[in-house]
Structure formats: C-alpha cells, structure tokens
Structure 1
Amino acid sequence: MKLKRFAAAASATLMLAVFGAAPALAADEIEVNEDISVSGDYDWTRFANDHITLNVYNWGLYISDGSDDSVNVLSAFEDLTGIKVNYTTFDSNESLYAKMKSGGASYDVIVPSEYMVGKMISEGMLAPLNFDNIPNFADIGEEYRGWDFDPDNTYSVPYTWGTTGIIYNTTMVDEAPTSWADLWDVQYTNDVLMFNNSRDAYAIAAKKIGYSMNPQSVDEVSTVMNELKTQKNVVQAYVMDEIFDKMEGGEAAMAPYYAGDAITMIDENPDLAFVHPEEGVNFFVDSMCIPANAKNKEAAEMFINYMCETSVGLANCDFIGYSTPLTEVWNELDDDLKYSEIAYPGEDVMEKAEVFNTLPDDINAAMDAQWSEMKSYEEGGSGWMVVVMLVVAIAISTFNIWRKLRKKSRDNY
C-alpha cells in the first residue's frame, strides 16, 4: 500500500532529485519510464528474444506493484528486458519452505528471511550467485553483508530489513503497550492478534519470560510453547497478511507485527501507533536468492540486480515501508521516512535486538511439532474448556444410562 503521507510531501522533490528532467539524465542511464531509470552500463536486453518467463516468489504486499498509484516495478522490468514475470506470494518462511520441499512448483527468485536462508543453504536448496551479473550488490551497506547464515553472501542479496514490535489502536487501549507481556493482558481478551508462524510467535513468548529468541534445547522450546498456550484465551486470531484489514478496520486493539507493515497500517488508520517492546525485538533481513533448481538462473540474477537499482529501491521503500540496505536508496529517502523511529530505530532498540539463527535439526523439529500441536489445541478451544466439556458429556451420559437402568429395574419389579 502506498505510503501516502511520505509520497505526497516528497513526490515533486524525489522526481527532480532522483530521476530529474530528461535532459539531465546521466549519459550512462536508461530511462525506462518517467519513474524508473537504470544503469546504462548493464546489458538489460540480452534475453529479449528468448521468451523467458521468470517465476518470482515473494512475501505478500512486499513490492511496488502499481496499486494505489504506486510505481509498477515489475512491468517496468518487463518493458526493459523483454522478460515476463510470473509473480506469486507467500505469507511466512515456513510456507515458502514447505512449498519448495514439496517440489510442486519451480521458482527463479525467492525472498526468505535470514534463518531460512541458512536452512536452505544447509539442505542444498540454493544456487551460488554469479556477482558479475549483480554489480549493484556494491551498493549494499557493509552492515547488511556477511551475516552468519551466509558469511560471504554466496547465496543471498539483501532486499529489505526491519524489526518487530507491537502495533496498537490508541482508541482501544487504556495505556500504550511497552512490553510483550501486554499481549497476554486479559482485559484485551478477544482483542489481541498474534503471529501465525512458529518462529515469530516463539520469539515473543521467549522474550516475555526472559529467554533468547533462539532456543538452546528442546526443553526450552517446550517451556516457551507452554507460555504461548497461556495466551490462547486472550487471542482473537492468529494472522499474517490478514492483519492489515483487522488493524486498519479497528477489529483488534493490538498485535505484534513487522515495522514496515506497521508504517503502512498507520498511514491507512491514524488511530494506530507502534512501539518496540522493552525486552527486545527481532532484527531481520529478507534476501533475494535463487533456488538450486531454477530454470533461468542468469535472468534471475538480472532481476536481482534490477531490484538493487536506486530508482527501483526507492519505489519499493516508498510503497512497502520496509527499511533499505541500499546506501544510495537511503540517501535519497524523504526525511520523514529516513529518520523514522519505526523504520530506522535508534541504538536503544537495536542494542537489544536479536537476529534469528538457523536452528539445529532437533530443535527445529521440536518447534515445528509443538507449534502444530498448539495450533490444533487452539482450534479445538482452550484445554480447560475441552476437559470441562468432556467431563460434562461423560456425566450426562452416565446419568442417562443410570436413569434407563433404574427405569428398567422398576418395570421389572
């Protein structure tokens, strides 16, 4: 969704400062349209006659796609290169992984988060990148390179980064939340939303009780998952992309979510606000990768390079609200976004932020299994209610049997 409050103030400035009038366009740039210009030193048309369709699999609401008066960076890529883009979306790293493992679809570019990149590398699911085809990688800031999950960036190019926090409706809460524990507050029963994926939900419960977001043992997983069970009576729904309609429509008082999406929701509903909880938050980087079985690897590398063009990165940041790892894009941002405490939090937040590690197989398996168990438990109602209903059902059945036997005994008598 378009970040209207940023775009309205910055539109004229950005057009002049970034794209400029046609005569001022640098000699080594190509103007694709009035919004997108790219490096002229790159051979963008080498696949123009090859009838390639590139399958791109990304998070929902995570690219500037032409809706809400945004720039359509995908159609601009097609016009520039002659390559068609088949663009589809997922809502969590876990659903991306499951789709990839099923073998039911073939993709050329995917956008997993750091811990999932590490997992896919370890399982041989990603192809090493040829950076001769991705020269714009040079604009990636040093602080976003060389993370433990891919130390030499052999397999991944950062796309965006961000943090988690709590988005809340100022008209529906008595006091602004400051802690993850506020998501357990019984006064907001049925007015709290929760992440519908195991890793993010686990992280919140872990920080609430003083643990790391990265579990060290199966027992630790069990302890944290039990903490999530204690929240169940408060939770209205477990959501991902559904959060937009619910929070923008005033259907819930608070929810944990990603900072970039919080900016979008606040833009749509000014009653909303965002806070980074005091215990610490998740700091994540989503990266562009190429699956090992991709059919169009070199064209996929061209797409990744295109996504790192300054004009394309600006369009994406303006539309989706997430933070950029591209130095030139950050330099060109409007000050309202560049210095936003939501998009670019200060040291007080980042010092306590944790990055998700790729988990050992036994811990990862335990988390997946116990998350599924918890979800089944939730769908059937809270545990104590199930027990009460079962006891009542047995009591009624026993009473009916006793009454029939008593009646039969009397009749025989």
Structure 2
Amino acid sequence: MKSLVRATIGILLVCGILMYTAHAMDTTTGKSGKNILTVYNWGEYIDPALLKKFEKETGIHVIYETFDSNEAMMTKIEQGGTNYDIAVPSEYAIEQMKERHLLKKIDHSKIPNLKNIDADFLNLDFDKKNEYSIPYFWGTVGIVYNTKLLKGYDFNSWNDLWDPSLKGKIILVDSAREVMGVGLNSMGKSLNSTDSDELNAATQKLIKMAPNVKAVIGDEVTQLMINGDAEAALTWSGQAADMMYENEDLTYSVPEEGSNLWFDNMVIPKTAKNIDGAHQFINFMLDPKVAAQNADYVGYSTPNKAALKLLDPEVVDDERYYPSKEIRSKLHVYKNLGKEKIGEYNELFLKFKMSIR
C-alpha cells in the first residue's frame, strides 16, 4: 500500500513539474496568454524602458523577439510556431501579409490615441482605412557621408556615387530593393519598376559602380561610419541619425532624383492570443509622451503629431529627418511587386554583388 501511495505521489509530483515547466516555457518561448504579450520587432527598434513601463501599467509581461528582415518575419508568422501578438512590418510586407491572411483586423475603438497620428500617415495605399496596421515609424533611404574624409561632396544626386574618385569608399546595405532602387532612381525610373529591360539596365549601371563599393553589409555599417572607417554609405535615415549622433563629421542626404519613403506599422498577426493586450500595447505606443521618448531613443521619424511638440525643435525642423511635403512628393513607397518580380530583383542584385571585387 505504501508503495502504491509513494508511486501515486511520485506521479503527481512529475505531473506538477511538467505543468510548471510547460507554463515556464509559455513565458519564455513566445507563447501568449492574457497576462503575456509577445512582440516581434526589428532589432533595437524600441526603448526597453517603455516595455518595463507598459508592464508596470498593465500587469502584462512582455516577451520581446527580433527579426532582421520582413521576409524572415513573415515566414515565421506563416509557420505559426510562435504566438506573436504584435509585429512591426514595412508597408509592402503588410500588403503581402493581407494577401496571405496573416493579419487580424484592428479595433479602432480600443485605440483612442489613434487621434494623435498625423492624417498624412493614415489611409495609405498599402492599407486603406488602416484596418490591419497602425503607424509606428517612417523615414527615407539616402546617403550618409563623412564631410572630413570627403571634402567637396554633397551627394545631391545618386549619380555622385559613380564618381571615379570614390573607388573603394562606398558601403551599400545588403538589400535588393534599396540597392536596385539606387540604379533605378539614378536613371529617373520608378522604384517599383516591373519592366525587365529597366531592371537589367539598372543592374548594368550598378555594375559600373562596383569599383567604388567597399562592401555590401548589414548593421555593421553603423560602427564603421562612426569610427571613420568608411567614407560614405547607403542607409536609412534613422540609422544615419544614430551615426551622426556619435560622429559630428557625418551628415545625411536624400538625392534630388528622389528615393524611398518607407513606413513601419504595428500589426496583430493571425498567431495572436492576447488580442486585448495587443490593442493596449498599440494604444500605449501612441501616447504622445511614449511616442516622443521612443522617437528620441530610436532616432527615426515619428508619425505622431502630438509627440512632435515634445521633441527637440532642432530635430523636428531638420529636413534630413522630417522632409517637407515638397521633398516628400519626390519620394516613393515600395509596392508589393509579387513573388516572381521580387525574385527577379534578388537575382539581379546577386549578379551585381558578384561583380564587386
């Protein structure tokens, strides 16, 4: 009898341990519940102090995971292995996610702080009426360069990158749309071109620029530019802001031919389990004080008009970060070009990279 009791107690203990372990795994591997919120975002794209503030105000524990590309993010959400409650994709990715039924609709009645978003950033083509997405940050693609190492350069034109005197001095981001966009913009063509002849012509022109390319890399570009180990780089405005904050010899330019105007928005993936918590988080991030603190930390431009009043006027008035409507009229948002055409972009980008010695 004692053996049976001991066996029964042993079984109960094992079950208890397994239940506890399962609960612990829920809080550490992206599983969600009403007191847990799993956020999937780009790396270093939020002030960590705000996550703690949200937890304190709501009692909801935040699990924060990061991705390094829209494609990687979409693949993981589509696979459904992790119950993400919030994700932060770019505009073209939102279009794709809608098409693939990867998003839940957002209940605007639960987001009163939506009133703080500038109307210019709402109801855009990639998500009319903002049924599935809420603005987070926005910015441009341009050229950051060292004025001490490159005296006399202003990079007012994309074609300046082809100057023979820049041999081995330019860094490019490892992204097909951005680099192919340089070639297209330099020829006065659309960033969303689907014309194979135009794409091939852009590639051939980029290959002529190859001798000037020092490297095609990712986030490492930030430290290289800060340290003065590179003269110029193709980058995003917020990343350029981080560099300029650390090195006063750096400045940023959006060439006159135009460039990419991008938007990152908060969405609720189909994997979400804590729907109410997701709405609370979105509304929290749209609070003016929160949005201003986040913009100051991250360095990118906020679409929150109420938050702008709380930011340093020198930053808000700087057209490198907050370009005027006139400048924005020359900027273009990436469109979802479809799997086949994106494959063509990637193939041509690879051809260009292989030409770099």
Corresponding residue number in structure 2 for 1:200 = 178
- For residue 336 of structure 1, the aligned residue among 314, 318, 321 is 314
Corresponding residue number in structure 2 for 1:147 = 124
Is 1:58 the counterpart of 2:41 in the alignment? yes
Corresponding residue number in structure 1 for 2:190 = 212
Amino acid at match of 1:313: A
CA distance in 2, matches of 1:232, 1:349: 29
Deviation at 1:185, TM superposition (A): 2.9
Whichever of the two has the greater Rg, that structure is: 1
Does the 8 Å contact 2:145/2:231 carry over to 1? yes
CA distance in 1, matches of 2:96, 2:104: 13
Which consecutive residues of structure 1, in runs of 5 or more, have no partner in the other structure? Answer: 1-49, 66-71, 383-413
Amino acid at match of 1:332: L
Does the 8 Å contact 2:170/2:215 carry over to 1? yes
Is 1:263 the counterpart of 2:246 in the alignment? no
- Pairwise mapping of residues 283-322 of structure 1 onto structure 2 (< 5 A)? 283-322=261-300
Corresponding residue number in structure 1 for 2:259 = 281
CA distance in 2, matches of 1:185, 1:333: 38
- For residue 231 of structure 1, the aligned residue among 209, 216, 233 is 209
Does the 8 Å contact 2:118/2:304 carry over to 1? yes
CA distance in 1, matches of 2:206, 2:348: 11
Deviation at 1:278, TM superposition (A): 1.4
User: Which runs of 4 or more aligned residues in structure 1 lie more than 6 Å from their structure 2 counterparts after TM superposition?
Assistant: none
Q: Deviations over 1:5-58 (max 9, x none)?
A: xxxxxxxxxxxxxxxxxxxxxxxxxxxxxxxxxxxxxxxxxxxxx663322121
Corresponding residue number in structure 2 for 1:346 = 324
Deviation at 1:103, TM superposition (A): 4.5
CA distance in 1, matches of 2:77, 2:168: 35
Corresponding residue number in structure 2 for 1:82 = 59
Does the 8 Å contact 1:169/1:250 carry over to 2? yes
Deviation at 1:374, TM superposition (A): 4.3
Amino acid at match of 1:333: L
SS state at 2:269 partner: coil
Q: 1:365 and 1:101, CA in 2 relative to 1: closer, same or farther beyond 3 A?
A: farther
Q: How many residues matched?
A: 324
Does the 8 Å contact 1:163/1:259 carry over to 2? yes
- Pairwise mapping of residues 27-66 of structure 1 onto structure 2 (< 5 A)? 52-65=35-48
Deviation at 1:101, TM superposition (A): 4.1
* % identical aligned pairs: 36
CA distance in 2, matches of 1:293, 1:374: 37
Q: 1:184 and 1:84, CA in 2 relative to 1: closer, same or farther beyond 3 A?
A: farther
What RMSD, in angstroms, separates the aligned Cα atoms of the two structures?
2.0
Deviation at 1:255, TM superposition (A): 0.8
Deviation at 1:314, TM superposition (A): 0.9
Amino acid at match of 1:204: V
Does the 8 Å contact 1:160/1:325 carry over to 2? yes
Amino acid at match of 2:55: E
Corresponding residue number in structure 2 for 1:92 = 69
CA distance in 2, matches of 1:309, 1:57: 20
Is 1:130 the counterpart of 2:103 in the alignment? no
Does the 8 Å contact 1:64/1:319 carry over to 2? yes
Corresponding residue number in structure 2 for 1:398 = none
Is 1:113 the counterpart of 2:90 in the alignment? yes
Deviation at 1:190, TM superposition (A): 2.3
Corresponding residue number in structure 1 for 2:151 = 174
CA distance in 2, matches of 1:94, 1:226: 26
Does the 8 Å contact 1:323/1:344 carry over to 2? yes
Corresponding residue number in structure 2 for 1:35 = none
Q: 1:83 and 1:368, CA in 2 relative to 1: closer, same or farther beyond 3 A?
A: same
Q: 1:225 and 1:125, CA in 2 relative to 1: closer, same or farther beyond 3 A?
A: farther
Deviation at 1:73, TM superposition (A): 0.5
TM-score by length of 1: 0.74
Q: Deviations over 1:186-245 (max 9, x none)?
A: 322222110211111121111012211011333333332333333333222222321211
SS state at 1:175 partner: coil
SS state at 1:56 partner: strand
CA distance in 2, matches of 1:233, 1:98: 35
CA distance in 2, matches of 1:99, 1:222: 32
Q: 1:204 and 1:234, CA in 2 relative to 1: closer, same or farther beyond 3 A?
A: same
Amino acid at match of 1:346: S
CA distance in 2, matches of 1:62, 1:243: 17
Which consecutive residues of structure 2, in runs of 5 or more, have no partner in the other structure? Answer: 1-32
TM-score by length of 2: 0.85
CA distance in 2, matches of 1:185, 1:104: 48
Does the 8 Å contact 1:60/1:241 carry over to 2? no
Amino acid at match of 2:317: Y
Does the 8 Å contact 1:54/1:299 carry over to 2? yes
- For residue 251 of structure 1, the aligned residue among 225, 229, 252 is 229
Deviation at 1:178, TM superposition (A): 1.8
